[in-house]
A and B are shown apart, each in its own frame.
Chain A
Amino acid sequence: MAQLGSFTLDDLKEVMRACAGVTESVDLDSDIADVTFEDLGYDSLAVLEMAAKLQNHLGVVIPDDVAEQLPTPRALAEYVNVRLAA
Protein backbone atom coordinates (compact mmCIF):
# COMPACT_ATOMS: atom_id res chain seq x y z
CA MET A 1 0.00 0.00 0.00
CA ALA A 2 1.18 3.52 -0.82
CA GLN A 3 2.67 5.44 2.03
CA LEU A 4 3.12 9.06 1.07
CA GLY A 5 0.93 11.23 -1.10
CA SER A 6 0.70 8.75 -3.91
CA PHE A 7 -2.35 6.76 -3.08
CA THR A 8 -3.81 5.55 -6.34
CA LEU A 9 -7.00 3.95 -7.46
CA ASP A 10 -5.10 0.70 -7.82
CA ASP A 11 -4.03 0.91 -4.21
CA LEU A 12 -7.65 1.36 -3.24
CA LYS A 13 -8.71 -1.61 -5.35
CA GLU A 14 -6.21 -3.71 -3.49
CA VAL A 15 -7.79 -2.64 -0.21
CA MET A 16 -11.26 -3.34 -1.59
CA ARG A 17 -10.30 -6.85 -2.65
CA ALA A 18 -8.61 -7.65 0.64
CA CYS A 19 -11.25 -6.15 2.92
CA ALA A 20 -14.45 -7.04 1.21
CA GLY A 21 -13.91 -9.36 -1.75
CA VAL A 22 -15.45 -8.78 -5.14
CA THR A 23 -19.00 -9.32 -6.32
CA GLU A 24 -19.19 -11.99 -9.00
CA SER A 25 -20.65 -9.75 -11.70
CA VAL A 26 -18.12 -6.96 -11.15
CA ASP A 27 -14.68 -6.58 -12.74
CA LEU A 28 -12.63 -4.26 -10.53
CA ASP A 29 -10.04 -3.95 -13.31
CA SER A 30 -12.55 -2.30 -15.61
CA ASP A 31 -13.30 1.41 -15.42
CA ILE A 32 -15.09 1.59 -12.09
CA ALA A 33 -13.66 4.82 -10.64
CA ASP A 34 -16.98 6.61 -10.76
CA VAL A 35 -19.29 3.70 -10.08
CA THR A 36 -20.72 3.93 -6.57
CA PHE A 37 -19.57 1.43 -3.99
CA GLU A 38 -23.19 0.37 -3.70
CA ASP A 39 -23.39 -0.44 -7.41
CA LEU A 40 -20.13 -2.34 -7.08
CA GLY A 41 -21.80 -4.55 -4.49
CA TYR A 42 -20.18 -2.98 -1.43
CA ASP A 43 -22.61 -2.27 1.38
CA SER A 44 -22.04 0.18 4.21
CA LEU A 45 -20.22 -2.43 6.31
CA ALA A 46 -17.79 -3.13 3.48
CA VAL A 47 -17.06 0.56 3.03
CA LEU A 48 -16.56 0.97 6.79
CA GLU A 49 -14.18 -1.98 6.76
CA MET A 50 -12.14 -0.38 3.96
CA ALA A 51 -12.20 2.99 5.68
CA ALA A 52 -10.93 1.48 8.92
CA LYS A 53 -8.11 -0.20 7.05
CA LEU A 54 -7.08 3.07 5.38
CA GLN A 55 -7.38 4.98 8.64
CA ASN A 56 -5.30 2.50 10.62
CA HIS A 57 -2.61 1.88 8.04
CA LEU A 58 -2.23 5.35 6.53
CA GLY A 59 -3.26 7.49 9.48
CA VAL A 60 -5.89 9.32 7.45
CA VAL A 61 -9.03 10.25 9.36
CA ILE A 62 -12.04 9.16 7.34
CA PRO A 63 -15.50 10.54 8.10
CA ASP A 64 -18.06 8.30 9.88
CA ASP A 65 -20.54 8.57 7.04
CA VAL A 66 -17.91 7.72 4.45
CA ALA A 67 -20.34 5.82 2.24
CA GLU A 68 -22.49 8.94 1.87
CA GLN A 69 -19.72 11.52 1.62
CA LEU A 70 -17.29 9.55 -0.54
CA PRO A 71 -19.55 7.26 -2.52
CA THR A 72 -17.17 6.19 -5.32
CA PRO A 73 -13.66 4.75 -5.50
CA ARG A 74 -12.41 7.93 -7.15
CA ALA A 75 -13.82 10.15 -4.40
CA LEU A 76 -12.37 7.97 -1.64
CA ALA A 77 -8.95 7.61 -3.30
CA GLU A 78 -8.69 11.35 -3.93
CA TYR A 79 -9.74 12.14 -0.37
CA VAL A 80 -7.00 9.86 0.96
CA ASN A 81 -4.42 11.15 -1.49
CA VAL A 82 -4.99 14.80 -0.65
CA ARG A 83 -4.62 14.11 3.06
CA LEU A 84 -1.52 11.99 2.59
CA ALA A 85 0.08 14.79 0.60
CA ALA A 86 -0.84 17.40 3.21
Chain B
Amino acid sequence: MSRHAVITGIGVTAPNGLGTEAYWAATLEGRSGIGPISRFDPAGYPVRVAGEVSDFTAAEHVPSRLIPQTDNWTHLGLTAAAWALDDAGADPAAFPEYEMAVVTASSSGGTEFGQREIERLWTKGPSWVGAYQSIAWFYAATTGQISIRHGMRGSCGVVCAEQAGALDAVGQARQLIRTGTRLVVTGGADASLCPYGLTAQYSSGRLSQGDDPGRAYLPFDVGAAGYVPGEGGAMLVVENAADAHARAAPVIYGEIAGYAATFDPRPGSGREPGLRRAMELALADAGLAAGGVDVVFADAAGVPELDLQEATAIRAVFGPDGVPVTAPKTMTGRLYAGGAALDLAGALLAIRDGVIPPTAGVTELAPGCDLDLVRGAAREARVGTAMVVARGYGGFNAAIVVTKTD
Protein backbone atom coordinates (compact mmCIF):
# COMPACT_ATOMS: atom_id res chain seq x y z
CA MET B 1 0.00 0.00 0.00
CA SER B 2 1.42 3.37 -0.93
CA ARG B 3 2.28 5.76 1.82
CA HIS B 4 1.08 9.36 1.78
CA ALA B 5 2.51 12.18 3.86
CA VAL B 6 -0.20 14.23 5.55
CA ILE B 7 0.09 17.12 7.95
CA THR B 8 -1.67 16.58 11.26
CA GLY B 9 -0.23 19.28 13.47
CA ILE B 10 0.90 22.89 13.23
CA GLY B 11 2.83 25.01 15.73
CA VAL B 12 3.58 28.66 15.03
CA THR B 13 5.86 31.22 16.65
CA ALA B 14 5.50 34.29 14.46
CA PRO B 15 6.08 38.01 14.97
CA ASN B 16 2.36 38.67 14.57
CA GLY B 17 1.11 35.79 16.63
CA LEU B 18 2.23 33.18 19.11
CA GLY B 19 0.36 30.00 18.46
CA THR B 20 -1.38 28.93 15.29
CA GLU B 21 -4.75 30.57 15.91
CA ALA B 22 -3.26 33.86 17.12
CA TYR B 23 -1.07 33.99 14.03
CA TRP B 24 -3.88 33.11 11.70
CA ALA B 25 -6.32 35.61 13.17
CA ALA B 26 -3.74 38.40 12.92
CA THR B 27 -2.83 37.40 9.38
CA LEU B 28 -6.41 37.33 8.14
CA GLU B 29 -7.01 40.72 9.71
CA GLY B 30 -3.89 42.13 8.12
CA ARG B 31 -2.25 42.80 11.48
CA SER B 32 1.50 43.08 11.16
CA GLY B 33 4.18 42.09 13.63
CA ILE B 34 6.79 44.34 12.05
CA GLY B 35 8.01 47.21 14.20
CA PRO B 36 11.06 49.11 15.35
CA ILE B 37 13.86 46.82 16.54
CA SER B 38 13.65 46.60 20.33
CA ARG B 39 16.30 44.07 21.25
CA PHE B 40 19.08 46.61 20.93
CA ASP B 41 19.28 50.25 19.94
CA PRO B 42 19.26 50.18 16.14
CA ALA B 43 19.85 53.91 15.75
CA GLY B 44 23.33 53.41 14.33
CA TYR B 45 22.16 50.78 11.85
CA PRO B 46 20.86 51.19 8.33
CA VAL B 47 18.06 48.72 9.13
CA ARG B 48 15.80 49.68 12.01
CA VAL B 49 12.60 47.70 11.65
CA ALA B 50 12.14 43.96 11.92
CA GLY B 51 9.61 41.28 12.73
CA GLU B 52 10.46 40.39 16.30
CA VAL B 53 8.55 37.75 18.24
CA SER B 54 8.28 40.27 21.03
CA ASP B 55 5.66 38.62 23.26
CA PHE B 56 7.64 35.40 23.60
CA THR B 57 9.08 34.63 27.02
CA ALA B 58 11.15 31.46 26.89
CA ALA B 59 10.57 30.63 30.56
CA GLU B 60 6.86 30.27 29.85
CA HIS B 61 7.34 27.72 27.09
CA VAL B 62 10.71 26.01 27.37
CA PRO B 63 11.87 23.79 30.27
CA SER B 64 14.17 25.68 32.63
CA ARG B 65 17.10 23.34 32.06
CA LEU B 66 16.99 23.87 28.31
CA ILE B 67 16.93 27.66 28.34
CA PRO B 68 20.57 28.41 29.18
CA GLN B 69 21.84 25.71 26.83
CA THR B 70 20.01 26.92 23.73
CA ASP B 71 19.73 30.04 21.59
CA ASN B 72 16.52 31.97 21.13
CA TRP B 73 16.16 30.31 17.73
CA THR B 74 15.93 26.92 19.41
CA HIS B 75 13.55 28.24 22.09
CA LEU B 76 11.18 29.23 19.29
CA GLY B 77 11.65 25.91 17.50
CA LEU B 78 11.15 23.81 20.65
CA THR B 79 7.99 25.74 21.42
CA ALA B 80 6.55 25.40 17.93
CA ALA B 81 7.38 21.68 17.89
CA ALA B 82 5.64 21.05 21.21
CA TRP B 83 2.58 22.96 20.01
CA ALA B 84 2.52 21.05 16.74
CA LEU B 85 2.60 17.70 18.54
CA ASP B 86 -0.11 18.90 20.88
CA ASP B 87 -2.20 20.05 17.95
CA ALA B 88 -1.77 16.65 16.33
CA GLY B 89 -2.85 14.96 19.52
CA ALA B 90 0.23 12.83 19.08
CA ASP B 91 1.82 11.46 22.22
CA PRO B 92 5.33 10.43 21.22
CA ALA B 93 5.29 7.72 23.88
CA ALA B 94 2.60 5.96 21.85
CA PHE B 95 4.78 5.69 18.75
CA PRO B 96 7.64 3.27 18.08
CA GLU B 97 10.79 5.23 18.98
CA TYR B 98 12.64 4.62 15.70
CA GLU B 99 9.62 5.56 13.63
CA MET B 100 9.62 9.19 14.74
CA ALA B 101 12.09 11.68 13.34
CA VAL B 102 12.89 15.38 13.31
CA VAL B 103 14.01 17.31 10.22
CA THR B 104 14.37 21.05 10.55
CA ALA B 105 15.85 23.87 8.55
CA SER B 106 18.15 26.54 9.91
CA SER B 107 19.66 29.34 7.92
CA SER B 108 22.15 30.74 10.39
CA GLY B 109 22.13 28.82 13.67
CA GLY B 110 22.34 30.37 17.13
CA THR B 111 23.77 33.68 16.03
CA GLU B 112 23.01 35.68 19.16
CA PHE B 113 24.33 32.97 21.49
CA GLY B 114 27.43 32.77 19.31
CA GLN B 115 27.97 36.52 19.28
CA ARG B 116 27.93 36.54 23.09
CA GLU B 117 30.46 33.70 23.33
CA ILE B 118 32.81 35.13 20.69
CA GLU B 119 32.67 38.42 22.54
CA ARG B 120 33.74 36.70 25.79
CA LEU B 121 36.46 34.80 24.00
CA TRP B 122 37.98 37.90 22.44
CA THR B 123 37.64 40.19 25.44
CA LYS B 124 38.36 37.77 28.30
CA GLY B 125 39.96 34.64 26.91
CA PRO B 126 39.15 31.08 25.91
CA SER B 127 38.27 29.87 29.40
CA TRP B 128 35.30 32.27 29.38
CA VAL B 129 33.58 30.43 26.57
CA GLY B 130 30.78 28.42 28.14
CA ALA B 131 30.19 24.71 27.85
CA TYR B 132 26.94 25.30 26.01
CA GLN B 133 28.47 27.08 23.02
CA SER B 134 29.32 23.61 21.71
CA ILE B 135 25.66 22.64 21.46
CA ALA B 136 23.76 25.92 21.17
CA TRP B 137 25.32 27.64 18.20
CA PHE B 138 25.54 24.91 15.57
CA TYR B 139 22.82 24.44 12.97
CA ALA B 140 21.74 21.05 14.31
CA ALA B 141 20.86 22.32 17.80
CA THR B 142 17.12 22.62 17.22
CA THR B 143 16.68 19.21 15.60
CA GLY B 144 18.77 17.58 18.34
CA GLN B 145 16.90 19.23 21.18
CA ILE B 146 13.47 18.39 19.72
CA SER B 147 14.55 14.79 19.19
CA ILE B 148 15.74 14.51 22.78
CA ARG B 149 12.79 16.28 24.34
CA HIS B 150 10.24 14.06 22.63
CA GLY B 151 12.17 10.79 22.46
CA MET B 152 12.30 10.65 18.68
CA ARG B 153 14.99 8.18 17.62
CA GLY B 154 14.45 7.91 13.89
CA SER B 155 16.50 9.42 11.09
CA CYS B 156 16.92 13.08 11.95
CA GLY B 157 18.02 15.81 9.58
CA VAL B 158 19.09 19.44 9.28
CA VAL B 159 18.91 21.35 6.02
CA CYS B 160 20.38 24.75 5.27
CA ALA B 161 19.22 26.49 2.11
CA GLU B 162 18.57 29.95 3.53
CA GLN B 163 14.91 30.90 2.96
CA ALA B 164 14.19 27.76 0.90
CA GLY B 165 15.43 25.35 3.57
CA ALA B 166 12.12 24.62 5.26
CA LEU B 167 10.59 23.28 2.06
CA ASP B 168 13.57 20.99 1.58
CA ALA B 169 13.14 19.82 5.17
CA VAL B 170 9.48 19.04 4.52
CA GLY B 171 10.51 17.26 1.32
CA GLN B 172 12.91 15.12 3.36
CA ALA B 173 10.17 14.47 5.88
CA ARG B 174 7.91 13.22 3.11
CA GLN B 175 10.66 10.92 1.89
CA LEU B 176 11.03 9.52 5.42
CA ILE B 177 7.29 8.88 5.60
CA ARG B 178 7.42 7.09 2.27
CA THR B 179 10.20 4.82 3.48
CA GLY B 180 8.56 3.74 6.70
CA THR B 181 8.82 6.51 9.31
CA ARG B 182 5.45 7.12 10.95
CA LEU B 183 5.79 10.64 12.26
CA VAL B 184 8.15 13.50 11.48
CA VAL B 185 8.39 16.87 13.19
CA THR B 186 9.56 19.25 10.49
CA GLY B 187 9.74 22.92 9.61
CA GLY B 188 12.09 25.69 10.50
CA ALA B 189 12.85 28.68 12.64
CA ASP B 190 15.47 31.37 12.82
CA ALA B 191 16.24 34.24 15.15
CA SER B 192 19.31 36.16 14.15
CA LEU B 193 18.23 39.66 15.10
CA CYS B 194 21.24 40.49 17.28
CA PRO B 195 23.56 43.30 16.14
CA TYR B 196 25.99 40.99 14.37
CA GLY B 197 23.21 38.92 12.80
CA LEU B 198 21.50 42.01 11.50
CA THR B 199 24.77 43.41 10.17
CA ALA B 200 25.51 40.19 8.32
CA GLN B 201 22.02 40.17 6.82
CA TYR B 202 22.42 43.78 5.78
CA SER B 203 25.59 42.89 3.90
CA SER B 204 23.50 40.86 1.45
CA GLY B 205 22.26 44.16 0.04
CA ARG B 206 18.68 42.90 0.17
CA LEU B 207 17.40 44.49 3.39
CA SER B 208 14.99 47.39 3.44
CA GLN B 209 16.21 50.58 5.03
CA GLY B 210 12.70 51.93 5.41
CA ASP B 211 11.61 53.14 8.84
CA ASP B 212 7.84 52.89 8.34
CA PRO B 213 6.88 49.37 9.45
CA GLY B 214 3.90 49.39 7.13
CA ARG B 215 5.87 50.44 4.07
CA ALA B 216 9.31 48.93 4.53
CA TYR B 217 8.62 45.59 2.83
CA LEU B 218 6.55 45.84 -0.33
CA PRO B 219 7.08 42.84 -2.59
CA PHE B 220 5.88 43.21 -6.18
CA ASP B 221 5.18 46.89 -5.51
CA VAL B 222 6.66 49.81 -7.41
CA GLY B 223 8.04 50.88 -4.04
CA ALA B 224 9.84 47.58 -3.36
CA ALA B 225 13.22 48.37 -1.82
CA GLY B 226 14.31 45.27 0.00
CA TYR B 227 12.80 43.12 2.69
CA VAL B 228 12.36 43.33 6.44
CA PRO B 229 14.07 40.54 8.40
CA GLY B 230 12.13 38.64 11.02
CA GLU B 231 12.40 35.78 13.47
CA GLY B 232 10.33 32.78 14.39
CA GLY B 233 8.85 30.09 12.20
CA ALA B 234 6.64 27.07 12.26
CA MET B 235 6.85 23.36 12.92
CA LEU B 236 4.58 20.76 11.40
CA VAL B 237 3.75 17.19 12.28
CA VAL B 238 3.82 14.99 9.20
CA GLU B 239 2.46 11.46 9.34
CA ASN B 240 1.70 8.57 7.10
CA ALA B 241 -1.95 9.01 6.09
CA ALA B 242 -3.06 5.50 6.94
CA ASP B 243 -1.45 5.67 10.37
CA ALA B 244 -3.00 9.08 11.04
CA HIS B 245 -6.43 7.73 10.14
CA ALA B 246 -5.86 4.63 12.20
CA ARG B 247 -5.12 6.61 15.33
CA ALA B 248 -8.00 9.00 14.54
CA ALA B 249 -5.80 12.08 14.37
CA PRO B 250 -7.95 15.10 15.32
CA VAL B 251 -7.17 17.06 12.16
CA ILE B 252 -5.66 16.26 8.80
CA TYR B 253 -4.76 19.62 7.33
CA GLY B 254 -3.68 18.34 3.97
CA GLU B 255 -1.33 16.14 2.02
CA ILE B 256 2.14 16.99 0.78
CA ALA B 257 1.28 16.15 -2.80
CA GLY B 258 4.23 17.60 -4.65
CA TYR B 259 7.71 18.88 -3.94
CA ALA B 260 10.66 19.93 -6.05
CA ALA B 261 13.89 21.86 -5.67
CA THR B 262 16.10 23.40 -8.31
CA PHE B 263 19.11 25.66 -8.45
CA ASP B 264 19.66 28.74 -10.57
CA PRO B 265 22.24 28.77 -13.37
CA ARG B 266 25.61 30.28 -12.50
CA PRO B 267 25.47 34.02 -11.88
CA GLY B 268 26.03 35.94 -15.07
CA SER B 269 24.88 33.10 -17.32
CA GLY B 270 21.96 35.18 -18.54
CA ARG B 271 19.79 32.07 -18.47
CA GLU B 272 16.38 31.83 -16.89
CA PRO B 273 16.39 31.21 -13.13
CA GLY B 274 15.31 27.78 -11.92
CA LEU B 275 12.16 28.96 -10.17
CA ARG B 276 9.68 28.16 -12.94
CA ARG B 277 11.15 24.69 -13.25
CA ALA B 278 10.77 24.11 -9.50
CA MET B 279 7.09 25.06 -9.71
CA GLU B 280 6.50 22.86 -12.75
CA LEU B 281 8.33 19.92 -11.24
CA ALA B 282 6.33 20.24 -8.02
CA LEU B 283 3.10 20.23 -10.02
CA ALA B 284 4.24 17.22 -12.01
CA ASP B 285 5.23 15.49 -8.80
CA ALA B 286 1.73 16.12 -7.50
CA GLY B 287 0.21 14.93 -10.77
CA LEU B 288 -1.60 18.23 -11.15
CA ALA B 289 -2.00 20.78 -13.89
CA ALA B 290 -1.42 24.43 -13.13
CA GLY B 291 -5.16 25.02 -13.27
CA GLY B 292 -5.61 22.79 -10.23
CA VAL B 293 -3.86 25.23 -7.93
CA ASP B 294 -6.09 27.65 -6.03
CA VAL B 295 -3.46 29.91 -4.47
CA VAL B 296 0.29 30.51 -4.56
CA PHE B 297 2.10 31.65 -1.43
CA ALA B 298 4.91 33.57 -3.06
CA ASP B 299 8.51 33.89 -1.95
CA ALA B 300 8.05 37.65 -2.32
CA ALA B 301 11.64 38.80 -1.93
CA GLY B 302 10.76 42.50 -1.97
CA VAL B 303 13.83 43.09 -4.16
CA PRO B 304 12.67 44.43 -7.55
CA GLU B 305 14.80 42.14 -9.69
CA LEU B 306 13.80 39.04 -7.71
CA ASP B 307 10.13 40.06 -7.62
CA LEU B 308 10.14 40.38 -11.37
CA GLN B 309 11.74 36.96 -11.76
CA GLU B 310 9.13 35.41 -9.52
CA ALA B 311 6.17 37.17 -11.11
CA THR B 312 7.44 36.13 -14.53
CA ALA B 313 7.74 32.52 -13.41
CA ILE B 314 4.26 32.50 -11.84
CA ARG B 315 2.76 34.00 -15.00
CA ALA B 316 4.62 31.49 -17.17
CA VAL B 317 3.29 28.57 -15.17
CA PHE B 318 -0.23 29.75 -14.38
CA GLY B 319 -0.92 32.25 -17.13
CA PRO B 320 -1.60 35.97 -16.62
CA ASP B 321 -3.95 36.39 -13.65
CA GLY B 322 -4.22 32.62 -13.64
CA VAL B 323 -3.97 32.14 -9.91
CA PRO B 324 -4.42 34.19 -6.76
CA VAL B 325 -1.07 34.98 -5.20
CA THR B 326 -0.37 36.12 -1.67
CA ALA B 327 2.52 37.00 0.61
CA PRO B 328 1.45 37.10 4.26
CA LYS B 329 5.12 37.39 5.15
CA THR B 330 4.62 41.11 4.52
CA MET B 331 3.23 40.99 8.10
CA THR B 332 6.13 39.10 9.67
CA GLY B 333 9.16 39.98 7.60
CA ARG B 334 11.23 37.22 6.06
CA LEU B 335 11.91 34.55 8.67
CA TYR B 336 14.65 32.75 6.74
CA ALA B 337 14.45 29.05 7.59
CA GLY B 338 11.17 29.78 9.35
CA GLY B 339 9.61 31.68 6.48
CA ALA B 340 8.59 28.92 4.13
CA ALA B 341 7.48 26.76 7.07
CA LEU B 342 5.18 29.54 8.18
CA ASP B 343 3.87 29.96 4.64
CA LEU B 344 3.16 26.24 4.51
CA ALA B 345 1.23 26.55 7.77
CA GLY B 346 -0.67 29.46 6.22
CA ALA B 347 -1.42 27.45 3.08
CA LEU B 348 -2.84 24.59 5.17
CA LEU B 349 -4.98 27.00 7.18
CA ALA B 350 -6.19 28.58 3.94
CA ILE B 351 -7.31 25.12 2.84
CA ARG B 352 -8.98 24.50 6.20
CA ASP B 353 -10.89 27.78 6.30
CA GLY B 354 -11.46 28.54 2.63
CA VAL B 355 -9.83 31.91 2.83
CA ILE B 356 -6.69 33.46 1.35
CA PRO B 357 -4.80 35.81 3.67
CA PRO B 358 -3.86 39.20 2.27
CA THR B 359 -0.54 40.74 1.31
CA ALA B 360 -0.10 43.83 3.47
CA GLY B 361 1.10 47.22 2.33
CA VAL B 362 1.30 46.67 -1.39
CA THR B 363 -0.62 49.35 -3.28
CA GLU B 364 0.74 49.57 -6.81
CA LEU B 365 2.17 46.58 -8.62
CA ALA B 366 5.49 47.08 -10.36
CA PRO B 367 5.64 46.71 -14.14
CA GLY B 368 5.85 43.03 -15.00
CA CYS B 369 4.56 42.06 -11.58
CA ASP B 370 0.89 42.23 -12.49
CA LEU B 371 -0.29 39.24 -10.56
CA ASP B 372 -3.65 38.59 -8.96
CA LEU B 373 -2.09 39.56 -5.66
CA VAL B 374 -4.59 39.28 -2.82
CA ARG B 375 -4.46 42.67 -1.15
CA GLY B 376 -6.40 44.82 1.27
CA ALA B 377 -8.46 42.09 2.89
CA ALA B 378 -8.50 38.34 3.07
CA ARG B 379 -10.36 36.74 0.18
CA GLU B 380 -12.83 33.94 0.67
CA ALA B 381 -12.20 31.18 -1.80
CA ARG B 382 -12.48 27.47 -2.10
CA VAL B 383 -8.90 26.37 -1.55
CA GLY B 384 -8.36 22.72 -2.33
CA THR B 385 -4.74 22.99 -3.44
CA ALA B 386 -2.05 25.50 -2.55
CA MET B 387 1.50 25.97 -3.72
CA VAL B 388 4.22 27.43 -1.53
CA VAL B 389 7.26 28.87 -3.26
CA ALA B 390 10.55 29.71 -1.60
CA ARG B 391 13.91 30.94 -2.81
CA GLY B 392 17.17 30.91 -0.93
CA TYR B 393 20.10 33.30 -1.21
CA GLY B 394 22.60 32.05 -3.74
CA GLY B 395 20.18 30.35 -6.10
CA PHE B 396 17.96 27.88 -4.24
CA ASN B 397 14.39 27.37 -5.45
CA ALA B 398 11.80 25.10 -3.93
CA ALA B 399 8.08 24.55 -4.30
CA ILE B 400 5.59 22.42 -2.41
CA VAL B 401 2.04 21.59 -3.36
CA VAL B 402 -0.38 20.75 -0.57
CA THR B 403 -3.86 19.43 -1.18
CA LYS B 404 -6.98 19.02 0.87
CA THR B 405 -7.61 15.45 1.91
CA ASP B 406 -11.01 13.82 1.95
Chain A interface (Cβ < 8 Å from any Cβ of B): 18-24, 41, 45-46, 48-49, 52, 55-56
Question: Do A23 and B65 contact each other (CB < 8 Å), given the known contacts A45-B132, A45-B135, A49-B132?
Answer: yes
Could you say which residues of chain A place their CB within 8 Å of the CB of B65? 20-23, 41, 46
Is the CB of B127 closer than 8 A to any CB of chain A? yes
In whole angstroms, what is the CA distance A52 to B120 when docked? 13
Known interface pairs A19-B130, A23-B65; 16 further A-B residue pairs with C-beta atoms within 8 A, sorted by A's residue number: A20-B69, A21-B63, A21-B66, A23-B64, A24-B64, A45-B69, A45-B131, A45-B134, A45-B135, A48-B131, A49-B68, A49-B131, A49-B132, A52-B130, A56-B127, A56-B128
Contact of A21 among B68, B134, B135 (CB under 8 A): B68
In whole angstroms, what is the CA distance A21 to B127 when docked? 21
Is the CB of B251 closer than 8 A to any CB of chain A? no
Do A49 and B63 have beta carbons less than 8 Å apart? no
Q: Show 17 A/B contacts (Cβ-Cβ < 8 Å), sorted by A.
A: A19-B68, A20-B69, A21-B65, A22-B65, A23-B65, A24-B63, A24-B64, A45-B69, A45-B131, A45-B135, A46-B65, A46-B131, A48-B131, A49-B130, A52-B128, A52-B131, A56-B124
Nearest chain B CB to A39 CB, angstrom units: 14
Do B127 and A22 have beta carbons less than 8 Å apart? no
Could you say which residues of chain B place their CB within 8 Å of the CB of A22? 64-65
Beta-carbon nearest neighbor of A44 in chain B? B131
Beta-carbon nearest neighbor of A49 in chain B? B131
Chain B contributes a number of interface residues (CB within 8 A of A) equal to 15
Nearest chain B CB to A3 CB, angstrom units: 18
Do A55 and B64 have beta carbons less than 8 Å apart? no
In whole angstroms, what is the CA distance A45 to B131 when docked? 6
Could you say which residues of chain A place their CB within 8 Å of the CB of B66? 21
Could you say which residues of chain B place their CB within 8 Å of the CB of A21? 63-68
Q: What total of A-B pairs shows CB separation below 8 Å?
A: 42
Nearest chain B CB to A49 CB, angstrom units: 4
Tell me the B123-151 residues at the A interface (CB within 8 Å). Answer: 124, 127-128, 130-132, 134-135
Do B68 and A55 have beta carbons less than 8 Å apart? no
Could you say which residues of chain A place their CB within 8 Å of the CB of B127? 52, 55-56
Could you say which residues of chain A place their CB within 8 Å of the CB of B128? 52, 56
Nearest chain A CB to B131 CB, angstrom units: 4
From A21, A45, A46, A56, residue with most partner B Cβ within 10 Å: A21
In whole angstroms, what is the CA distance A26 to B203 when docked? 46
Could you say which residues of chain B place their CB within 8 Å of the CB of A23? 63-65
Beta-carbon nearest neighbor of B125 in chain A? A56
Nearest chain B CB to A57 CB, angstrom units: 10
In whole angstroms, what is the CA distance A52 to B135 when docked? 16
In whole angstroms, what is the CA distance A45 to B69 when docked? 9
Beta-carbon nearest neighbor of A55 in chain B? B127
Nearest chain B CB to A67 CB, angstrom units: 11
Could you say which residues of chain B place their CB within 8 Å of the CB of A56? 124, 127-128
Could you say which residues of chain A place their CB within 8 Å of the CB of B132? 45, 49
Could you say which residues of chain A place their CB within 8 Å of the CB of B130? 19, 49, 52
Nearest chain A CB to B123 CB, angstrom units: 12
Beta-carbon nearest neighbor of B63 in chain A? A24
